Structure 1
Amino acid sequence: MVPSLLFEIMLIGLLGIGSQWVAWRYRMPAIVVMSITGLLAGPIFGFLNPEEDFGSLYSPIISVAVAIILFEGSLNLSFKELRGLGKPVFRISTVGAFIAWILGSLTAHYIAGLSWAVAFVIGGLFIVTGPTVIMPLLRQSKLKARPAKILKWEGIIVDPIGALLAVFAFEIITFLTGSEPDVAQLLLFFAASIFAAIFGWACGRGIGWMFETGHIPEFLKSPAVVIVVIMCFTVADEIVHETGLLSVTAMGITLANMGISSISDMRHFKENISILLISTIFIMLTASLQLETLLHIFSPNIIGYVLLMMFLVRPLSIFLSTIGTSLTFNEKALVGWIAPRGIVALTVSGYFAGVLSEQGYEDAQILTTLTFGLVFFTVVAHGFSIGWLSKKLHLSMEGRPGAMIVGANRFTVELAKSLSKADFPVIIVDSSWEKLRPVREAGINFYHGNILSEQTEYNLDTIPYEYLLAATDDHAFNSLVCTTFMPEYGRTNVFKISPFDQFSGDSVNVVSRVGGRILFDKKFTMEDLLDKLDHHYVFRQTTLTSQYNYKQYLADKDDATVFLYLIKPSGQLKFYSEEMRTVPAVGDRIVSLTPPNKEKAKIQAKLETQRNGQSKENR
């Protein structure tokens, strides 16, 4: 056991973030790594038992964390995303959820051996997926936009619906089996659910109005939203258990569709908080399980139940609910397979296990085991299969890391051509149709619009592009673009052309430090690059070998050569920059913009040969 509660909090955070890093470093599903880490630290080796150590604080901490995570997810649910997807998302979230509830309840009764009452409670709960498990999978898999949006919307919207279905089933059971059925209690549940939705909408509208009118200063906006989220969840949850999830979801969706500029600024802060909470909560939940629970998971009835839920109930509910929609068979197959259960299922099932046991349902004691079995098997199976399956179904953008170039000019057109020849996806974005004319003539993929506009966010698919190059003639705009996209692409993948030609003194320090890294070299501005093309500089690719290493390559190069990017044998793309630390090795291919010395020599040699041939004929 750990020496103190403070040490345990530190260890939980370290294990959570460490698991995220390991998953990123070795390209593994983060939720799988976190689950295994929690199991090793908790029931297997006995280092942690957060539920026992935190005592009465354990459940409130989990509940508040789930509320913030669900709010952060719903903050991304703009209705503009639903263009062409509104019908399938609505069908899956309503008809599909109902079908999954009924089929899941039947499976729980006949396969897992639960009583009808407990089966219908747990059947409602198990329709949830949720942002805690869906978001890490989407970050990992790089799905195409349509299936990714469907899974995201379903995960966030069905989360509170599943919890409410479980509560609804419990209330119905209590009403039907009670010695004196109380209709008022049942009506209270429906009234509380309606109140939770309205209260969440009111909280969203209220905090949004305060932002727009300047009643909250910038430095207090993020803290104020967090506190209001906790208040929104707590007030609704105190009236009827689990309605708080519905309330925070309504609040997030309301704010997401109010068009408030500061909401997008806060979204990155919320994402960071969400990642931290997901990491720590997964460790806490899995570390709190008992060893007996793990061993019981492998009993035939639980394994049979889990397999039917994964291979029959989920696919059937998706295929039946999406009949007549625009979804293709491949999209239905992928969405019908991906349904990992997560934190909401674990926490709410623990609550109902206690409540139902108190009501005299002895079979409710296996709910925790059943829930974790479904959570663990779906997390592992879907975490490891989503990438492979999405590729097989041609729904993945996985491939070579592409580049999105902002700014159309002669240099970016030539750079895009060289990237395309090397089989890297590339797109040029510009708001000028005239500047895009040579891009269109060259057959390069392009987008006509302002990269910073809201419309671009919904119309331009950025998934295939891991690098962003800001290469317009407006250096301030380049810096702004890099600053905007840095949270999405990462600091090491955002570049801008050197601004050192138009600024001096303090101004150059401001522009150079704001936004991304300097592309290529700070001495090569856009004017220099265009000038080199005017002087017939060429894009040349050179492969390093054991006979011709990097030192020899540098020695042969002219001082005016611009090193553009290198391609690793693995297919990894790396752009040269001021902060580049990678030393090219044997097998690397270096692409550079070089003086046409070789070409001139070849032309001169050809002319010389022609002259010699003509002189011989004259003789």
Structure 2
Amino acid sequence: MVPTLLFEVMLVGLLGIGSQWVAWRYRMPAIVVMSITGLLAGPIFGIMNPEEDFGELYSPIISVAVAIILFEGSLNLSFKEIRGLGRPVFRISTVGAFLAWILGSLTAHYIAGLNWAAAFVIGGLFIVTGPTVIMPLLRQSKLKPRPAKILKWEGIIVDPIGALLAVFAFEIISFLTSNNPDGSQLLIFFAASVFAIILGWACGRGIGWMFETGHIPDFLKSPAVFIVVIASFTFADVIVHETGLLAVTAMGMTLANMGISSVEDMRHFKENISILLISAIFIMLTASLQVETLLKVFDPNIIGYVLLMMFIVRPLSIFLSTIRTDLALNEKILLSWIAPRGIVALTVSGYFASILSEGGYADATIITTITFALVFTTVVAHGFSIGWLAKKLHLSMEGRPGTLIVGSNNFTVNLAKSLQKAKAPVIIVDSSWERLRKAREAGIPFYHGEMLSEQTEYNLDTIPYEYMIAATEYNSYNALVCTTFMPEYGRTNVFKVSPYRHDLNGMGDLVNKVGGRILFRQDLSLDDLNQKTKEHYIFRQTAITNQYPYKQYLNEKDEDTVLLYIMKPSGRMKYYSEELRVTPEPGDTVVSLTPPVKEKKKIRQRLENQRNNNGNGKSKS
């Protein structure tokens, strides 16, 4: 066991964030890495048992984490954005979710053997797929736009709904199955629920008004929201248990629909806090499992439940809810299979397990076991099969990793043409139709819109693109774009052209310290790159082989050559940057912006011939 509680807090954080890093580094599902880590630290090696060690603090920590996670999820529920999502998304998120809840609850009762209250609670939780597990899978599999959009928005919309469904299901089923049902208790619960919704709405409107009128400074906005979320959850939960979840969801939805510009900043803060909380809570939950509880995963009833949820309940809910929609059969098959339950489901199930335990339900002890079994199985099965299945169903966008370029100009259009030649997806985004003329004439895919607007976020399919380059003439805008999209693309995949200015003999601009990595070299500004294209510099591909190694290439290349990116035989690519080490190997192709050496030689030869002819003419005269 760990020596002190402080050491255990440190260890939980270290293992959680460390697991997230390992998952990112080796492109693995984070939930799988965290599950294995928590089990190793807890029931397998007995290093810690957070539920015992934290004592009375354990439940409040789980509750606060659940409140923050649900609030962060509800911040995405803007009615304006949901309205235009199309019929299949709406049907799957409503009819499909309801069918999945009913069928899942019946399966939990008759197959897993749970009592009705626990079955309907867990049935509500398991309609949640969640964007935290769906988005990495979509990027990994490069799904075509329509199925990717449906899976993405199903996760976003249903994420907060599942927990609320579990709350109401628990109270109603508990009332219906009680030996001495008391209608007043149910009325009190519904009255408290209405109060919690009003409280959440009032907190959202209040904090939003204070933001808009400048009563809260920028540096206090995120911390203030953080505290108000906890306060609204606590006040509602103190009045009637479980209603705190309603309050924070109502608060998040209220803020999401107020049209406040600073909500986006809060969303990034909440995402960061959610990642920290999710990582820590997941380690705590899995490390607190008992060996006996863990072994119940292999119970035939639980195994049967998991299989039925995957192969019967999900397909039925998808096929029935999408009747008379324009979805093709291959799209329905993919949607029927892909439904990984994530960290939110396990975290919230831990919260409800404690509630059921306090209510005297014996089944509370196996709720976490069932949840862990379904979460782990679906993440592994769907995570490792989505790419293969998408290809088999012809729903995968085949090809190399793509690049999204913000800013249309001579250099970016020519860079996009070189990427097209390398068979890598590319798109240029610009808010000016006139600047996009160069891209249109060159046959480059383009999107006309403001990259930082919410409308672009929901209308532009970014799944095929793993890299982002900000290359507009405005250095501050480039830095802002990189800062905004760094959480989505990753720090090593976001680049901006250098803000280098010759008139200041150096950077001279603080934006070089903000945002993404400098593309290519720090002494090359966008003006320099555009000038080189005007001087007819050539985008040249050079194969690196054992006979022509990279070192020889560097020695022989022209000193004015700009190294752009390398393309590997596997299709992976890397952009050059002084902040990243790029070392091509035999088999790789180096793409560079090279001076027109042959043309220079021809021009030089022509000038020499003219001089010779002029000299001969003078001598004759």
1-structure distance, mates of 2:421, 2:404: 16
Aligned equivalent of 2:527: 527
Trace 1:129-208 onto structure 2 (pairs within 5 A).
Answer: 129-130=129-130, 133-134=133-134, 137=137, 143-144=143-144, 146-155=146-155, 157-178=157-178, 180-208=180-208
Q: CA deviation at 1:215?
A: 0.7
State whether residues 142 and 398 of structure 1, in contact with CA within 8 Å, keep that contact through their aligned partners in structure 2.
yes
Q: CA deviation at 1:264?
A: 1.1
1-structure distance, mates of 2:3, 2:435: 65
Q: CA deviation at 1:463?
A: 2.5
Write the letter of the residue equivalent to 1:568.
K
2-structure distance, mates of 1:158, 1:571: 36
TM-score after normalising by structure 2: 0.88
Write the letter of the residue equivalent to 1:294.
L
Write the letter of the residue equivalent to 1:458.
Y
1-structure distance, mates of 2:82, 2:525: 41
Residues 184-242 of structure 1, C-alpha deviations (whole Å, 9 max, x = no match): 11122222333323322222111111101001111111110111111122222233332
User: Which one is further off, 216-225 or 157-166?
Assistant: 157-166
Residues 407-444 of structure 1, C-alpha deviations (whole Å, 9 max, x = no match): 22222221111110101111112233233223112211
Aligned equivalent of 1:336: 336
2-structure distance, mates of 1:437, 1:157: 38
1-structure distance, mates of 2:538, 2:265: 42
Q: CA deviation at 1:150?
A: 4.0
2-structure distance, mates of 1:430, 1:184: 60
Aligned equivalent of 1:354: 357
Q: CA deviation at 1:58?
A: 0.7
State whether residues 168 and 189 of structure 1, in contact with CA within 8 Å, keep that contact through their aligned partners in structure 2.
no
Aligned equivalent of 2:64: 64
2-structure distance, mates of 1:333, 1:412: 39
User: Which one is further off, 276-285 or 596-605?
Assistant: 596-605
State whether residues 76 and 156 of structure 2, in contact with CA within 8 Å, keep that contact through their aligned partners in structure 1.
no
Could you tell me which runs of 5 or more consecutive residues in structure 2 were left unpaired when the two chains were aligned: 606-621
Aligned equivalent of 1:464: 464
Aligned equivalent of 2:286: 286
Aligned equivalent of 2:409: 409
Write the letter of the residue equivalent to 2:353.
G
2-structure distance, mates of 1:254, 1:506: 47
Write the letter of the residue equivalent to 2:497.
I
Aligned equivalent of 1:261: 261
Write the letter of the residue equivalent to 1:593.
L
Q: CA deviation at 1:181?
A: 3.0
Aligned equivalent of 1:537: 537
2-structure distance, mates of 1:490, 1:133: 16
| Counterpart secondary structure, 2:570 | coil
Q: Does 1:426 align with 2:426?
A: yes
| Counterpart secondary structure, 1:560 | coil
Aligned equivalent of 1:104: 104
2-structure distance, mates of 1:381, 1:547: 44
Aligned equivalent of 2:77: 77
Aligned equivalent of 2:41: 41
| Counterpart secondary structure, 1:447 | strand
Write the letter of the residue equivalent to 2:108.
A
Q: Does 1:320 align with 2:320?
A: yes
Q: CA deviation at 1:447?
A: 1.3
Residues 499-533 of structure 1, C-alpha deviations (whole Å, 9 max, x = no match): 33454168724243343333222333333333333
2-structure distance, mates of 1:579, 1:52: 46
Aligned equivalent of 2:445: 445
1-structure distance, mates of 2:290, 2:49: 9
2-structure distance, mates of 1:253, 1:119: 28
| Counterpart secondary structure, 1:297 | helix
User: Which one is further off, 467-476 or 286-295?
Assistant: 467-476
Could you tell me which runs of 5 or more consecutive residues in structure 1 were left unpaired when the two chains were aligned: 606-619
State the identity %. 76
Write the letter of the residue equivalent to 2:264.
S
2-structure distance, mates of 1:196, 1:93: 24
TM-score after normalising by structure 1: 0.89
State whether residues 306 and 373 of structure 1, in contact with CA within 8 Å, keep that contact through their aligned partners in structure 2.
yes
| Counterpart secondary structure, 1:261 | coil
2-structure distance, mates of 1:138, 1:285: 27
Distance 1:465 1:185, change over 3 A: same
Distance 1:201 1:333, change over 3 A: farther
Aligned equivalent of 2:583: 583
State whether residues 353 and 365 of structure 2, in contact with CA within 8 Å, keep that contact through their aligned partners in structure 1.
no
Trace 1:544-563 onto structure 2 (pairs within 5 A).
Answer: 544-563=544-563
Q: CA deviation at 1:595?
A: 2.2
Aligned equivalent of 1:231: 231
Distance 1:596 1:135, change over 3 A: closer
State whether residues 232 and 248 of structure 2, in contact with CA within 8 Å, keep that contact through their aligned partners in structure 1.
yes
